[in-house]
Structure 1
Amino acid sequence: MKLSTKLAGCLAITLGTSTFGAYAADKCEVDRTISFGGMSWDSNLVMVDIERFILEHGFGCKTQVQAGESVAVLAGLQRGDIDVMSEVWSNSLREPWEKALKTGKVKTAGEAYQGDEAWYIPRYTAERFPELKAASDLPKFKDKFADPEEPGKGRFYGCPAGWGCDATARNLFKAFKLGDSFTYYSPGTAAAQRAAITSAYKRKRDIVFYYWVPTPLVGELDLVKLDMPPYDEAAHQCNTAVDCADPKPSAYPKNPVLTALNSEFSQQAPKLTEFFAKVNVAPDELNKVLAWATAEGAESDEAARQYLREYPQSWSQWLSRDAAERVKQAL
C-alpha cells in the first residue's frame, strides 16, 4: 500500500484554507502548529490524516507530522514535542504506556477503535498441512517454513523492529519454545514485512507471521489464525515487557486502540480534546478504506478524504454541525 512517503519521510505542515472569522464557534484553541506522531503502519497513517483534515478545515488549525515508531512517538508525546498520538495499541505497548500515564504528562482522550492481533498462515498452507492448527504445532513443520539464512530452521516473521508488538511476539516465540526450530525474523519496516508476506503468498510459498487488524493485507489475503491457549491476563502482562523473565503462552486479547494527547496540550485545547474523545472509527469502514487505497495506489491523505466522503454519518458525530459542514465543503 503506497501510503505516506510524505508522512513518514518528512515534516509536513499544512494550513486550513478558510478565513479565521469562519471558525468563531469552533476556532483552533492554540496559535501554534499541532504536531501528530506519524507511525508507519497503514491504519495510523490514515487516522492521522483524517484527524488533520478535520482540524485544519473544521477548526482552522495548523498541523504537522513527526515521523517515528510507537516508543519514540510516545517519548515525544511525554516531552511535548508531539501533541497527538492517534493510535496507542494499549495491550502491545502496555508497559511503556502505563509508565507514561503515571508521569501525568500524557492522557487518554478516547478509543479510536478495537484492534486485534494474531499469528497467521495462508489458507493454502493450512490445507497442505491440516495438522498445523496451533502455534505450538510449529516445531513439527519447521522444514515447511525454511529460513534461507539459517538452514535447518524455519522462519517466523515477527513484528517490525521498534514497534511495541515486537516484545510480545518475541516473548510468545519463547513461550512456545520455538528457538530450537525457528528463527525470529524482525522486518525492518512495515513495508518490508508486507512485501515479504505478499511475495510468498503470490508464489504460494508457506509462511507464518504476526499481523494485526484493521489492515488491508488481512482483508486482501485468505489467511488462517493459528490457535493459542486462552487469553491469560497475567501471562500477557509479562509478555508485553521486554524483560519478561518467564514468558507463557497466551492468546492476544482484543486490543483497544486509544487516542492519546499530551496533557498540557489537552489543557490548552479543551474543545479539541472533546473532539479527539469522540473519534471512534468502525473497523469495517477503516478496512474498506485501506483496501481501496491499496487497490488505487493512493496516499494516506487521499485515503483520509475517501473515508470522509464515504462515511459522513460516522465522523459528523464527532463535530458540531458547523464544523462538520466546513469539512464537507473542503472535500
Structure 2
Amino acid sequence: MFLRTLSPRLSLTFAALAGAALLAACGKAEEPAPAPAPTATPVAAACGKVTVANMNWQSAEVLAQIDAFILGKGYGCEVELVPGDTMPTLTSMMEKGEPDVAPEAWINAVRDPLDAAVKEGRLHYAAESLKDGGVEGWWIPKYVADANPGIKTIDDALKHPELFPAPEAKGKGAVHNCPSGWNCQITTGNAFKAWDAKKKGFVLVDTGSAAGLDGSIAKAYERKEGWLGYYWAPTSILGKYEMVKLDAGVPHDDAAWKACNSKTECDKPQKNDWASAEVFTVITDRFQKAGGPAVEYLAKRSWGNDTVNGLLAWMSDNQATGEDGARHFLKTQPEVWEAWVSKDVADKVRAALDAA
C-alpha cells in the first residue's frame, strides 16, 4: 500500500521494511477477547497510568487523542501520549512492553512476530481500529460513476480513455500514479502493465508528490472532469471529494503480489487486487490485566472509513491538530462514540467537553 510513515505511505515504507507491500499479507488476525474487569473495582484505581502511542499520521493522531480524552476523563486513567510510528512502536511493545496502547496499528507487515507475541500472551489485540480496514486501489469520481453506471471495474474504465483525459497527452486517457519513492508507485505501474492500459489508449501520469496527487483530484473535481488513478482510505481527500473505488475484478493473490506485482523488476505482472490492510488496536499484557473497564472500551472502539474520512477532511480544512479533531468528533458525533462506553462514562466525557 502506501506507508506514509505509516499511512498514506503505509504500504510504502512498511512494504520496504517487510519485503512486500504493507498490504501484502492476507488472513484475519486473532482477536482474543479482553479479560473481563471486576465490576467492584473503582474505575480510576483499576486504570492507573497508561502510555498511548501518538503515531505520526493524521488518522492515528486523532484516534490517540480521542483515546486520551476518553480514558482520562471517562475512566480516570493517567494518560501519557508518547511519540510513535508503526514499526518502532510495535517493536518496542513486543520487546519492552511499552507503550501500553497502539491505537491504530497496521499489522500486515509485522503479522508473524506480532501474532507470536499475542500467542505468548505478551500483547493482545483489542478492537479492529478501522472496521473497513485500510483500503487501496484505483478510484474514479462519484460524478463519473453516476453518469456511467456501466463502469464498475478497472477493465470497464479502461474501455473509455475519453472519460479520463490525460493532461499532457491529447487523445489519451490518464492513470494517475503514486509519488516517486512510495511503494504504491511500483504496484500501480505494474497494475498499469497487467491491465495492458497502454494498448487501451492510456498513459501513466507521474504525480510527483503527495500534494501533486491530491491536487490532481481537487482540480478534476473543480472542473468536473474525469480522473482515474491510485488512492487509499482513510484519508482527508476522500472525505472532501467523493470517490468510488473500482473493482479489480480478480481476487488478491498474495504469492503473485510478493513475487512480482510489488517488485520494481516485474516483467509479467498479473491482474491482482490490492489486499485490505488489517488495522487493530494493540495493548500490552500489563494493561490488559491492570486497565480494568478501560480495556473494555478499547475492545469496542472501532469506526468506519467514512467517519474517519469526514473527520480528516474537517481537520485539513480547519488546519486542526489531533487534539482539535478529537474534541470536534466527540462534540459532534456522540452517536458513534457513545456506543463504545457505558452511560456513566459517556456522562463524564460530555461533562468534560462542556467544561473545556
Q: What TM-score do the two structures reach when normalised by structure 1?
A: 0.66
Deviation at 1:192, TM superposition (A): 6.0
SS in 2 for 1:36: strand
Alpha-carbon distance in 1 for matches of 2:273, 2:331: 37
> What is the match of residue 278 of structure 1?
300
Deviation at 1:307, TM superposition (A): 1.7
Alpha-carbon distance in 2 for matches of 1:267, 1:185: 50
Deviates more, 1:245-254 or 1:309-318: 245-254
Instruction: From 211, 227, 231, give the equivalent of 2:231.
Output: 211
Alpha-carbon distance in 1 for matches of 2:222, 2:111: 37
Query: 1:60-89: CA deviations, max 9, x gaps?
Result: 322214143x44544344344543332244
> What is the match of residue 51 of structure 2?
34
Instruction: From 311, 328, 332, give the equivalent of 1:306.
Output: 328
Matched, 1:118 2:140: no
> What is the match of residue 72 of structure 2?
56
Q: How many residues align?
A: 296
How many percent of aligned residue pairs carry the same amino acid? 25
Any residues of structure 2 matched to 1:70-149 within 5 Å, and which?
A: 70-80=86-96, 81-89=98-106, 94-104=108-118, 106-112=123-129, 113-115=131-133, 116-122=135-141, 134-136=153-155, 138=158, 141=161, 144-145=165-166
Deviation at 1:309, TM superposition (A): 1.7
Query: 1:166-187: CA deviations, max 9, x gaps?
Result: 7765664564466997558586
> What is the match of residue 239 of structure 1?
257
Query: 1:233-272: CA deviations, max 9, x gaps?
Result: xx04653685698854233466553222244543453543
Structure 2, unmatched stretches of 5+, are 1-40
Structure 1, unmatched stretches of 5+, are 1-22
Alpha-carbon distance in 2 for matches of 1:271, 1:126: 45
Alpha-carbon distance in 1 for matches of 2:101, 2:185: 23
The change in CA–CA distance for 1:296 and 1:153 in structure 2 (over 3 A counts) is closer
Matched, 1:229 2:249: yes
SS in 2 for 1:114: coil
Equivalent residues of 2:177, 2:188 under 8 A apart:
no
Alpha-carbon distance in 2 for matches of 1:210, 1:121: 9
The change in CA–CA distance for 1:128 and 1:46 in structure 2 (over 3 A counts) is same
Alpha-carbon distance in 1 for matches of 2:334, 2:146: 41
> What is the match of residue 43 of structure 2?
25
Which structure has the highest strand share of the two?
1
Deviation at 1:119, TM superposition (A): 0.9
SS in 1 for 2:250: coil
> What is the match of residue 5 of structure 1?
none
> What is the match of residue 60 of structure 2?
44
> What is the match of residue 28 of structure 2?
none
Letter paired with 1:225: K
> What is the match of residue 37 of structure 2?
none
Deviation at 1:162, TM superposition (A): 6.3
Letter paired with 1:63: E
Matched, 1:194 2:214: yes
Deviation at 1:205, TM superposition (A): 6.4
Equivalent residues of 2:52, 2:102 under 8 A apart:
no
Equivalent residues of 2:48, 2:77 under 8 A apart:
no
Alpha-carbon distance in 1 for matches of 2:123, 2:180: 25
Alpha-carbon distance in 1 for matches of 2:327, 2:205: 38
Equivalent residues of 2:71, 2:77 under 8 A apart:
yes
Alpha-carbon distance in 2 for matches of 1:237, 1:258: 24
CA RMSD of aligned residues (A): 4.4
Any residues of structure 2 matched to 1:154-169 within 5 Å, and which?
A: 156-158=176-178
SS in 2 for 1:194: helix
Equivalent residues of 2:239, 2:313 under 8 A apart:
yes
Alpha-carbon distance in 2 for matches of 1:82, 1:259: 12
Alpha-carbon distance in 2 for matches of 1:122, 1:209: 10
Query: 1:209-237: CA deviations, max 9, x gaps?
Result: 322334442243243433412324xx046
Deviates more, 1:129-138 or 1:248-257: 129-138
Query: 1:180-210: CA deviations, max 9, x gaps?
Result: 9755858665x66434532454356664332
Query: 1:281-319: CA deviations, max 9, x gaps?
Result: 244444443344344443332221122122334323333
Alpha-carbon distance in 2 for matches of 1:263, 1:183: 48
The change in CA–CA distance for 1:266 and 1:129 in structure 2 (over 3 A counts) is same
Equivalent residues of 2:54, 2:61 under 8 A apart:
no
Instruction: From 326, 332, 339, give the equivalent of 1:317.
Output: 339
Q: What TM-score do the two structures reach when normalised by structure 2?
A: 0.63
SS in 2 for 1:210: strand
